[in-house]
Amino acid sequence: MYIAPIAPPSERKSGVIDLVVRPLIDFEIEYNRDHGGEFNQSRSELKLLQGRISNAEQTAIKAKKSDDQRVAEYELQELNAELAEFEAVEPLRLFGADVTPEKLAAMLKAQGGTFALVSAEGGGLFENIGRYSDKGGLEIYLNGYSGDRVCVDRKGSDSIVIDRPTLTIIAPCQPSVVVDLFADTQKAGRGLLSRILFVKCPSRVGSRKAT
């Protein structure tokens, strides 16, 4: 779900968001502390595997006999197959806020295809969408809502493929932000705004009980 509660300034949007995410933050901290050894072990195994691949490449290059070269090439083939199947154990991240589209795709993959963007300042979050890239930067948000397959191929970086992404956005914003959003022909025309549930919140100014 993509949801954007609409409220004027000073309506305690930040306080409400903090109440929502605080249990998640506490869970993240506890989970990552309890599983820190697994994360370190996974990183060490990956470095060792990459080191073995580098050594095998050098051995194959420097081999003077054809038999030695074939052995090194076979070992290199086996190691590369092992690397392709290697699944890193990543620290848990349930949500973020200031994330570029490219980084969002990487974080979705690292977290098994599930992630959330949560920000008390929805204006900044929505402004980031599409800021850092061309109109292709909207794809991750469109597909993250519908669960369509995500494929990101960028020069100089590994390809990212996510079969059924699940993205959640919670971004309270001020009325002026909504006006600017609907003035953005790219976001409106490509269907991003039709995926967002905008909710106008009644003002609580003057009605809250003092404690």
Q: Give pLDDT tens digits for 159-201.
A: 889 999 999 999 999 998 889 888 888 888 888 999 999 999 8
Mean pLDDT rounded to a whole number for the chain:
87
> Where residue 120 falls among pLDDT bands split at 50, 70, 90?
confident
Element (DSSP H or E) covering residue 117: strand 114-118
Q: What does the pLDDT read at residue 208?
A: 58
Q: Are residues 126 and 189 in the same domain?
A: yes
Q: What does the pLDDT read at residue 12?
A: 82
Distances (CA, A) of 15 to 20, 22, 37, 133, 192: 9, 10, 34, 32, 27
Sheet with 114-118: strands ordered across: 95-96, 114-118, 166-170, 2-6, 196-200
Does residue 209 form part of some domain?
A: no
Q: Is the pLDDT of residue 147 over 90?
A: yes
Q: Are residues 117 and 196 in the same domain?
A: yes
Does residue 207 form part of some domain?
A: no
Q: Are residues 51 and 77 in the same domain?
A: yes
Q: Give pLDDT tens digits for 86-100.
A: 888 899 999 998 888
Contact present, 147 and 113 (Cβ < 8 Å):
no
Amino acid at 79: L
Query: What span, in angstroms and rounded, lies between the C-alpha atoms of 74 and 60?
Result: 9
- The number of domains in the chain is 2
Query: Which residue range(s) make up the domain with 40?
Result: 36-85
Does residue 42 form part of some domain?
A: yes
Does residue 185 form part of some domain?
A: yes
Does residue 99 form part of some domain?
A: yes
Other beta carbons within 10 Å of 7: 20
Q: Are residues 23 and 57 in the same domain?
A: no
What CATH code is carried by the domain that includes residue 122?
A: 3.40.50
Amino acid at 172: P
